[in-house]
Chain A
Amino acid sequence: MNLQDYKGVFVFAQQVDCKISGVSFELIGKAKELAAELGTNVTAVILGDGVTALADSLAVYGADKVVVVDHPSLKEYTTEPYTHAMYSVIESYKPEVVLYGATAIGRDLAPRVSARVKTGLTADCTKLEVDAETKNLRMTRPAFGGNIMATIVCPDHRPQMATVRPGVMQRANKIAGAKADLDVVELTFEKNNKYVEVMEVVKTVVDKMDIMDAKILVSGGRGVGNKENFKLLEDFAKVIGGEVSSSRASVDAGWTEKDQQVGQTGKTVRPNLYFAIGISGAIQHLAGMEESDVIIAINKDETAPIFDVADYGLVGDFKAILPILTEQMKEIMA
């Protein structure tokens, strides 16, 4: 393998129902940075049925070039036709880097492509950078349940492939009115033993989530005061994409349900973000939530033990703070 033959940073621009997934734009944003350091450009690859028209939107977010494979076999995602298409694109364009979103599609497609191309693949990267000396891609990812970070390189194989979780990278600024430099690749798709049949596509409505699975919890305690005040927590949770949980005191008071209880006699949770609102921080409550990645506490009582475990503690009245926070958050999330 002559590594010099491989040029360009490619992004698998995932689309579902002819709508580009947000992570694709984020990947283009990162790809632009990498391409600048490598002295090359960014190509977005879009696979699907009737997707050629989407090419410009990828240019708007910074793709220098867009490669399209537009074919009825690519209507719904299935592994083999997508692998065949991606593999064919890689074989003919020889990119040095290929990025995929770490989605339910990308995490199926990328490994299958890597095995066909026989190159390395690094999953769920949180950081991508170019080694100043070797120009190799340095791919950093969490391992062991997030206990350590590992930087992976793929020095002797090309392309260097990585998947990146949605929300990790930043989108580049839009270039209004940008038009794609388009390559439409014609491929033949011959059905073989590896083709599967999609019998049904069912879009799912998300049910109420188990607080143990929630990434963000807005948790209330005795200090919330009454059931009506929990509405403030619910509004905030809705805006920030979290779930409402509570301390035992609140469950005992009948303000919240038992399945929302965090603590010794409730559930043990480990969200990315835990808001402790009006929760004093009894030891039995702390036992259920102190492993949360980030803890933000709001409490009137400056001496409340919850402040010992909180990353950020705010001494004050949540009834005043929360509505403002909810409004500001709405603007940011919009």
Chain B
Amino acid sequence: MDFTLSKEHEMARTLFRDFAQKEVKPLAQEVDETEIFPTETVVKMKKLGFLGIPIPKEYGGQGCDTLTYAMCVEELSKVCGTTGVIVSAHTSLCAEPIKKFGTPEQKEKYLVPLANGTKLGAFGLTEPGAGTDASGQQTKAIVDGDEYVLNGTKIFITNGKEADVYIVFAMTDKSKGTKGISAFIVEKGTPGFTFGTKEKKMGIRGSSTYELIFTDCRIPKSNLLGMEGKGFGIAMQTLDGGRIGIAAQALGLAAGALETTIEYVKERKQFGKSIAKFQNTQFQIADMATKVEAARLLVYKAAIAKDTQKSFSLEAAMAKLYAAEVAMQVTTMAVQLHGGYGYTREYDVERMMRDAKITEIYEGTSEVQKMVISANLL
């Protein structure tokens, strides 16, 4: 058992940190304040290959591994949770399922531009009536000649409207329940595919969260991802991978809050000395750092498991459950140590705490993670 990172992973981390500090951090406050999607940052990340880290070079990706990808999301999220989730949703939820389930033609047409960043990806599973219970899909896909005709609505879709390629789930045979769900690749601009309400959110406010509306939206049969009726399995396996991305985002938020707080408590003086000299501060920092490190080990273990094991569902669920809880706890502690300043938008920890909450909710709530974990054990 070896917990040391390879030199390439260390250097990749240096790269991500450097990029995050110089290019992402200066915009984080404004992105949150204005709720504007950071297009410029996405263009920069595209040029550097950040949108195809775990995708093989033959498909236009960087040919790195899941651990490198997780480290990228972690470092971005340390300074901006919004930027972290953009990369995570694009990579884990759109590029990955095409890599795993796509035909050679689909990979050529969609995976290559997604991996080289020419196109941005998104994932549409959640519906007003199908959240934690994803099997309750109402969106329908009916065969009509060489096409499927989609009708229905998806909500809370990360990268909605900004993305060019969407993985969309719909019922092809309602009578078969989850075995009647199929996955489709839908391009932005397809007639009948429009965007509804933009969500106003507590955190990750620069990420574009939209409603997707399908009204007699005709999709060529060649855009069916995997086999008909296999959509639920595709969704679940995709989410296993997505959870590693979100766990990395949660880890980044916690680690970022910890770093900022360490700097702050050394500078902030009360009662004539820096507050770092108080035992309460010291013990709080110790707890925060220990939680962050434990979360990091779980997240990295899950990332490595994805590349080396047949199933990594248990590892991903544990990593996501724990890292999300840690994100919420550590950012809350960070705000407390900042005192009144921590409650103002002048300081990053206020935003981090708001950003952290979603990690306990999306891509499977903490309760869903517990269902997954216990199902693997009982």
The interface of chain A, by Cβ under 8 A from chain B, is 264-265, 283-284, 286-287
10 A–B contacts from the bound complex (CB under 8 Å): A264-B346, A264-B347, A265-B29, A265-B346, A283-B267, A283-B268, A283-B341, A284-B346, A286-B267, A287-B267
Distance between B160 CB and nearest chain A CB, rounded to angstroms: 30
Interface of A is mostly: helix
Residue of A nearest to B29 (CB): A265
- Alpha-carbon separation in the docked complex, A287 to B29 (Å): 18
- Alpha-carbon separation in the docked complex, A286 to B346 (Å): 15
Residue of B nearest to A286 (CB): B267
| 3 cross-chain pairs, A with B, having the tightest CB-CB distances, nearest first | A283-B267, A283-B268, A287-B267
Q: For A283, what are the chain B residues with a Cβ–Cβ distance below 8 Å?
A: 267-268, 341
- Alpha-carbon separation in the docked complex, A264 to B347 (Å): 9
Distance between A61 CB and nearest chain B CB, rounded to angstroms: 47
Number of interface residues of B (CB under 8 A): 6
Known: A264-B347, A265-B29, A287-B267; 5 extra A-B contacts, CB below 8 A, are A265-B346, A283-B267, A283-B268, A283-B341, A284-B346
The interface of chain B, by Cβ under 8 A from chain A, is 29, 267-268, 341, 346-347
- Alpha-carbon separation in the docked complex, A119 to B159 (Å): 64
Residue of A nearest to B26 (CB): A265
Q: For B346, what are the chain A residues with a Cβ–Cβ distance below 8 Å?
A: 264-265, 284
Q: For B347, what are the chain A residues with a Cβ–Cβ distance below 8 Å?
A: 264
Q: For A264, what are the chain B residues with a Cβ–Cβ distance below 8 Å?
A: 346-347
- Alpha-carbon separation in the docked complex, A283 to B268 (Å): 7
Residue of A nearest to B264 (CB): A283
- Alpha-carbon separation in the docked complex, A312 to B267 (Å): 21
- Alpha-carbon separation in the docked complex, A287 to B267 (Å): 8
Residue of B nearest to A248 (CB): B346
Residue of B nearest to A284 (CB): B346
- Alpha-carbon separation in the docked complex, A276 to B172 (Å): 70
Q: For B267, what are the chain A residues with a Cβ–Cβ distance below 8 Å?
A: 283, 286-287
- Alpha-carbon separation in the docked complex, A264 to B346 (Å): 9
- Alpha-carbon separation in the docked complex, A284 to B346 (Å): 9
- Alpha-carbon separation in the docked complex, A286 to B263 (Å): 13
Most A-side CB within 10 Å, residue of B29, B267, B268, B347 = B267
Residue of B nearest to A305 (CB): B269
- Alpha-carbon separation in the docked complex, A283 to B263 (Å): 11
Distance between B262 CB and nearest chain A CB, rounded to angstroms: 13
Residue of A nearest to B263 (CB): A287
- Alpha-carbon separation in the docked complex, A264 to B268 (Å): 13
Distance between B114 CB and nearest chain A CB, rounded to angstroms: 35
- Alpha-carbon separation in the docked complex, A9 to B226 (Å): 85
Q: For B29, what are the chain A residues with a Cβ–Cβ distance below 8 Å?
A: 265
- Alpha-carbon separation in the docked complex, A117 to B29 (Å): 57
- Alpha-carbon separation in the docked complex, A213 to B268 (Å): 27
Most A-side CB within 10 Å, residue of B29, B268, B341 = B341
- Alpha-carbon separation in the docked complex, A283 to B341 (Å): 10
- Alpha-carbon separation in the docked complex, A284 to B347 (Å): 9
Q: For B341, what are the chain A residues with a Cβ–Cβ distance below 8 Å?
A: 283
Distance between A258 CB and nearest chain B CB, rounded to angstroms: 11
- Alpha-carbon separation in the docked complex, A6 to B341 (Å): 67
Q: For B268, what are the chain A residues with a Cβ–Cβ distance below 8 Å?
A: 283
Distance between A93 CB and nearest chain B CB, rounded to angstroms: 51
- Alpha-carbon separation in the docked complex, A265 to B341 (Å): 13
- Alpha-carbon separation in the docked complex, A95 to B267 (Å): 54
- Alpha-carbon separation in the docked complex, A236 to B268 (Å): 32
- Alpha-carbon separation in the docked complex, A287 to B269 (Å): 13
Distance between B363 CB and nearest chain A CB, rounded to angstroms: 32
